[in-house]
């Protein structure tokens, strides 16, 4: 067997170094691609989490608004019941009702202030 010459050894060393550099470069490219894929997945997951947080915040605001509206409605209903109870206790004289005719003014003539005052005094004494 013939021994390789110095130039052949130099050429083999050069080819081996070239192959090593290509493998190292391919590994760096593969690692960069993996990191890019992982970063994209993390970004997508972060977007999903952010969207979920936005939705839950919107749902929470909507629920709070619905609860506030319900409380306002209950307060209005309570005020209406209280007003209705107060109106039920209110007693108006028969002459104060719509379309009622005053017993002191049967003829349709204008009522004097003295008659009105006397009628009011009578009502106050009765109540």
Mean of pLDDT values over 104-122: 74
Mean of pLDDT values over 12-19: 95
- Residue of higher predicted confidence among 46 and 108: 46
What is the reported pTM? Answer: 0.40
What was the pLDDT predicted at 116? 84
Rg (CA), the chain: 49
Model pLDDT for residues 50-109, shown as the tens digit of each residue: 998 988 988 899 999 999 999 999 999 999 999 888 877 777 666 666 665 555 555 556
The pLDDT of residue 45 is above 90: yes
What was the pLDDT predicted at 100? 57
What was the pLDDT predicted at 108? 57
> How far is it, in rounded angstroms, from Cα 127 to Cα 118?
14
Rounded (5°) CA angle 102-104-107: 85
Look over the chain and give the mean of its residue pLDDT values, rounded to a whole number. 86
């Amino acid at each position: 067997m013939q021994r390789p010459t110095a130039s052949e050894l130099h050429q083999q060393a050069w080819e081996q170094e070239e192959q090593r550099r290509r493998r190292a470069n391919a590994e760096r490219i593969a690692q960069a691609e993996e990191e890019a894929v992982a970063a994209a997945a993390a970004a997508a997951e972060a977007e999903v989490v952010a969207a979920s947080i936005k939705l839950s915040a919107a749902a929470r605001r909507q629920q709070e608004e619905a609860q506030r509206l319900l409380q306002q409605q209950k307060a209005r209903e309570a005020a209406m019941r209280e007003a209705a109870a107060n109106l039920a206790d209110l007693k108006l004289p028969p002459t104060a009702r719509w379309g009622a005719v005053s017993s002191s003014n049967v003829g349709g003539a204008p009522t004097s202030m003295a008659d009105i005052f006397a009628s009011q005094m009578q009502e106050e004494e009765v109540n």
